[in-house]
Amino acid sequence: MRSLAVEGTVGFLVVSAIISAPLTYYPGSQFLLVGILFAVTYAVIAYVCWKQIPAGFIAAIILALFAAASAVGISGLRYAGDELLVVVQLLIVFFSYRGYREVRRVHRSGRNQ
């Protein structure tokens, strides 16, 4: 049975995968490949979280913090959509932490479904 935290984590990871590539492209930029790599990474981590593997939630937290820090540090929130990306990354951190706690508790009790 999937909880709201697991579904929320997967949902926001999919949203990040969809918006990460277009947000990294702006005229004169060569960061489109980075956005595509981020999108693929988000999709893989979303699948791992959907399978309710605790390490996937930790990976989601690390990736979200890295993406938020790079959006603030590299672009300085100057480009359209950067604020949206940071907000979605913070939601991923919150949902992933809650999902990690719930999945870890289920794995420890031995009721893994």
What span, in angstroms and rounded, lies between the C-alpha atoms of 45 and 8? Answer: 13
Cα separations (Å) of 78 from 21, 69, 75, 81?
Answer: 17, 14, 6, 9
Model confidence at 27, in pLDDT bands (50, 70, 90)? low
Predicted confidence band of residue 29 (pLDDT cuts 50, 70, 90): low
Token code pair at residue 33: 């490949």
- Quote the pTM value: 0.84
> Which pLDDT does position 107 carry in this prediction?
83
Look at residue 62 and tell me whether its pLDDT is greater than 90.
yes
CB contact at 8 A, 15 and 91: no
What is the rounded distance in angstroms from the CA atom of residue 37 to the CA atom of residue 104? 28
